[in-house]
Structure 1
Amino acid sequence: MIVLLVNDHLLKQAWPGFVTGKLSDVAGLLVAPPLLALLFLRRADLAATLATGVLFALVKTTETGAEAASHVWTLVAGPSRVLADPTDLLALPALALAWWVRRRSLAAPSSPRLRVLLTAPLALLAVAASGASPQATSEAVSVEVRGGRIIVHTDDSAAWTSENRGDTWVYESTYDRPPKRPTTAMCVPYKATRCYRVTPGRLGVEQSDDGGDTWRPSWSPSRDDRDRLARQYDDDLPRSGGLAVQGWRGGHVVVVANGSEGILLRDETGSWRRLGHPGEPERAPDLYFEGVTAAFLAGCVLFGAAGAGLRRYHRAYLAVTTTACLSLLGVAFSRIVPALGDYMELLAVLAVGTVPAAFIVGTVLLIAGRARPAPIAVGILSAPFVYLAAYLPFEGWADGTFGSYWAAVAVAALLTALVLAVDLLLIRKDAARAPADV
């Protein structure tokens, strides 16, 4: 679970490629069988393991299976897309390891219900992280009106078309090549004094009410929208390319090709709407640093709360767990400090090895140090809530729920503080009830 959390929430974004992709498959196959076994009324470890293998093979080798998995992940983790990739079958031997771990765990003295209670939140959070949503890549480059049809051309010879003034759109994968020079300014038919043009070199539209003699802004992204766009496109903001005006006696609509941002529409009421890429998932803002921060806080809470009940080996435990948490920040700083960028792969490998190793060594120290069980349970149960409290408000900012980034910061800080306050209260109560150490 720890490997899956670190890999999917951190390393896949920092170091995408074959290693992190296959590592996610291996870790997922280790976590999935026990989660699937929870759905059975009786213990069915073998059935769950075999079912996991069959479902994984169907998803990775058939388009129908991949599409079905996409719908399931969308329900679990939001808009997601799972792709068929037969090379992922290389991870199937991990099921044998999952079976071996399960057989070994049967000899453990702890209660199966207690193990489920403590590990299920982390497992669900880890598995839910694996569904990645694809991002739209085509760019809208020009717009034209042919009779009653509006056509938005893309840079890959495709087009979105609408025959109802932009209310609905149809994507056509092959279409006429776009005009060599997109129209950047146009006046309203039957009303030549009203004209529109794209803002030169920027994302925006200007309007003239005197036939083009003077111009004023008609639409431009707000400051918060610009912040989101900067996260979406790595500070390389898209630019408005071309536009077209469709008029009739009752009014007019304006359609703008906003490059990688997709389509912008001014409807007959005069309201501007960003349509993006109709029918396609939009590029998500980069929340890498927020994710790293949330993972760091969750790790600190997990290790810190568990260590609060230690009776011995406090310094060794602190050194091991601090190293694990700082390794996460090392990957984050490699994207902030240019000089560390050359060591990204090394830092990623160290994070993959350090965090699981620290988890194992920390567990050994907790056992050897006769740690009280209540603080351990508090750490395991609260770590997912800390992560969600620190991260979800920024997801809300990314999709427009919070208009201001600093509002999301305030909400994240408040929610995280509430979770930590509850943790502190529970740990203090346990410490008060515990007998004095001898």
Structure 2
Amino acid sequence: MTVAGVFVLFINDHLLKQTWPGPVTGKLSDVAGLLVAPALVALLFWRRADLAATVLTGVLFTLVKTTETGAELASHVWTLVAGPSRVLADPTDLLALPALALAWWVRRRSLESYSARWRVIVTMPLAVLAVTATSAAPMPSADSVEVDGGSIVVHIGDGIDQVSDDGGVTWSDDDGSRDASRPLQSAACVPMQATRCYRVMPDRIAVEQSDDGGKTWGPSWALTADDRERLARRYPSWARQHSMALAVQPRPGGHVVVVANGLDGIVVRDMSGEWRRVGWPGSPEFSEVDLSPESNVAIFLAVCMLFGGAAAGLQRYQRAYIGFAAAAGLGLFTALNSPAPLAVGVSMETALLSLLGVLATVVGTVVCLVLAVAGRARPTPAAVGVLAAPLVYVTVYTPFYGWSVGTPGPYWVAVALAVLLTGLAVLGGAVLIRYDARRAYLDGSSTSRPT
């Protein structure tokens, strides 16, 4: 049941939700999760406690789906376990709770407690891979900025303004009651120092500087190419990818410049002349960088590792297994990289290709499971494949997630790290599988004796 639930989770969350987003696939994910969760929770107990694990799962699921606090805590937990995630409170998901009865019944019928425990341990990493998903919330926009007495006010579209009373060092929320109807200020000079001026560039997130009263201009600050790429991936439909407005405030011994950068938030030039991206002070990043291409590649390589481990241990039907595994892998890659068939503007050919990818994935996976059992796959290579699959996903995805939050900064470094770490993971799995194959060969030949 745990293995079946894991495969349902994987196919539903990574394929069906993209193809047919809606309440059906959402509830199917909840049902599959409740089938898998009690077995995982049972690992927390020293002795087998099926009923306690099932009840605890139901209580936690109810808290998460009915309270904002529970949903927020679950989001933090899943972010630590499986990358950036967002869990939403939805009381209608409680309709899936009867699935716990089926999970408890299946667990009660399993009398081999230790073998069941090892099956859960082996499938747990794959379960984490299966339920990895993210969701994003809209983010406010810094539309304009002005100096109001001794304060600098950044007006936020449809949100709470940000106010600084110390030259942009610290910021606090404002109720937004200040007048934000003044026209955008795209350029400003330093008071009492008219030769030093600043202006935002009309088509970039950048600021230019003039030291001759605006006669000539040169670059003062701009987003790097990687920062621009991260911002474009965070807001792919945002057309205003440029700085909106700026304001200059004189300070004792110098001046500061504050720039309203739209969805990128706030940028400050401090008294020393250093530029600093403040973003949204005191607030989390509501939208994550879109890493769908990298995540799709990570999933594809993880599935290849999963199928490859079982194939290495097959004693029969290897050719048929490899053929169906290749069909499942190609179908998965096609479905992951195709738009939802029912989405607006999708052509008939694209929709048909996406549906064929889903069908090839489902049929190929089912046939491979049957062939793995019928072909008497050795347990060690299969276990290596199952355990290495989520490891491969992590080694591919983690460097790009680090790049999405700024570490490493250059994208090519993330690519190099992903290739290196994934190569080490695959090499380690290959060594284990080769060792098992050699041991199986020696065991098989030990019955013959030289005469």
Relative to 1, partners in 2 of residues 1:158 and 1:345: Cα closer, same or farther, differing over 3 Å? Answer: farther
CA distance in 2, matches of 1:233, 1:422: 38
**Whole-Å separation in 1 of the counterparts to 2:159 and 2:339:** 35
AA aligned opposite 1:92: L
Please, which moves more after superposition, 223-232 or 239-248? Answer: 223-232
- What is the DSSP-based 3-state SS (H/G/I as helix, E as strand, rest coil) of the residue aligned with 1:234? coil
Q: For 2:387, what is the secondary structure of its paired residue?
A: helix
Alignment-mate amino acid for residue 415 of structure 2: V
- Per the alignment, residue 242 of structure 1 pairs with 245
State how far apart, in whole Å, the 1-side matches of 2:90 and 2:358 are: 24
Which amino acid in structure 2 is aligned with residue 263 of structure 1? I
Deviation string, structure 1 residues 130-187 (Cα, Å, up to 9, x no partner): 4x36444211100011112211112215311222222222234543352252111111
* Paired residue type of 2:204: R
Instruction: Look up the SS of the partner of 1:178 in the other structure.
Output: coil
Q: Given that residues 10 and 288 in structure 1 are in contact (C-alpha distance below 8 angstroms), is that contact kept between their aligned partners in structure 2?
A: no
1:189 aligns with 2:191: yes
Q: 1:390 aligns with which of 393, 396, 409?
A: 396
Question: For residue 150 of structure 1, what is the amino acid of its counterpart?
Answer: I
SS in structure 2 of the partner of residue 284 of structure 1: coil
Q: Which residue of 1 aligns with 2:432?
A: 426
How far the C-alpha of 1:190 sits from its partner, in A, is 2.7
* 1:71-108 CA-partner distances (Å, limit 9, x unpaired): 4344444555433211222222222332233234x156
Does residue 377 of structure 1 match 2:383? Answer: yes
Q: 2:372 aligns with which of 366, 370, 373?
A: 366
Contact 2:71–2:89 at 8 Å: present in 1 too? yes
3-state DSSP of counterpart to 1:117: helix
Q: 2:104 aligns with which of 87, 99, 102?
A: 99
| Alpha-carbon contact 1:136-1:280 (below 8 Å) kept | no
**CA distance 1:350–1:137, shift in 2 (3 Å):** farther
For structure 1, which segment, 258-267 or 21-30, has the greater mean C-alpha deviation from structure 2 after superposition? Answer: 21-30
Counterpart among 397, 408, 411 of residue 402 in structure 1: 408
Contact 2:9 2:130 in 1 (8 A): yes
Instruction: In structure 2, give the amino acid aligned to 1:311.
Output: Q
Deviation, 1:375, is 0.7
Aligned to 1:329: 333
- Whether 1:296 aligns to 2:292 is no
Cα deviation 1:380-430 (Å, max 9, x = unaligned):
111111111111111111111122212211211111111111122221221
| Counterpart position of 1:44 | 49
Note if 1:171 corresponds to 2:177. no
Query: SS where residue 241 of structure 2 aligns?
Result: coil
Tell me the CA shift for residue 123 of structure 1: 2.4
Q: Contact 2:332/2:358 (CA < 8 Å) preserved in 1?
A: no
Aligned equivalent of 1:308? 312
Paired residue for 1:233?
A: 235
Deviation at 1:126, TM superposition (A): 3.5
Letter in 1 for 2:414: A
- Cα root mean square deviation, aligned: 3.0
**In structure 1, C-alpha distance between the alignment counterparts of 2:84 and 2:345, rounded to whole Å:** 35
Letter in 1 for 2:44: L
| Deviation, structure 1 residue 341 | 5.8
Offset of 1:212 from its aligned partner?
1.4
Gaps of 5+ in 1: none
Query: For residues 82 and 167 of structure 2, what CA distance do their matches in structure 1 show?
Result: 34
SS of 1:245's equivalent in the other structure is strand
* Unmatched segments (≥5 aa) in structure 2: 1-5
User: What is the CA–CA distance in structure 1 between the aligned matches of 2:170 and 2:16, rounded to whole Å?
Assistant: 39
Contact 2:18/2:340, CA 8 A, preserved across alignment: no
Aligned length: 435
SS for the counterpart of 2:145 is strand
Q: Indicate how the Cα distance of structure 1 residues 114 and 350 shifts in structure 2: closer, same or farther if over 3 A, else same.
A: farther
Could you give the per-residue CA deviations for residues 288-310 of structure 1, whole angstroms, max 9, x where no partner exists?
A: 11111111111011011111111
Query: Aligned residues: percent identity?
Result: 57
Amino acid at match of 1:375: P
